[in-house]
Amino acid sequence: MTTRIVTILNRAGIHARPASLIVQAAQAFESSIWIEKDDVKINVKSIMNLLTLEATYQTKLTLSAEGPDEDDAVIEISRLFENRFKEE
């Protein structure tokens, strides 16, 4: 399992557009991919799960993946967070 801490850097947090970008990126990978906030762990291949997470600006999340392409999955999704989902 590959794990990385990511921080939400865009001011609007995870709303419909960033959630859609995360889901699209995650679906390109065979691995199972999760994001954890506090004690809530969700599958990032579901947009509804991401939207109900209520992840706002400066929230730290644990991103993890398990499977044959787990390293690539974590790197790719981490880049979305680092690039502020191309919003700013």
Residue 72 sits in a domain of what CATH number? 3.30.1340.10
Into how many domains does the chain fold?
1
**Can you give the residue range of the structural domain that contains 49?**
2-86
Confidence band (pLDDT; 50, 70, 90) for 87?
confident
The fraction of the chain above a pLDDT of 70, given in percent, is: 99
The answer on pLDDT for 81 being more than 90 is yes
C-alpha to C-alpha distance for 67 and 58, rounded to whole angstroms = 28
pLDDT 10s digits, 26-43? 999 999 999 999 999 999
Query: Active-site residue numbers?
Result: 15
Q: Is a pLDDT exceeding 80 seen at residue 51? A: yes
pLDDT the model gives residue 27: 97
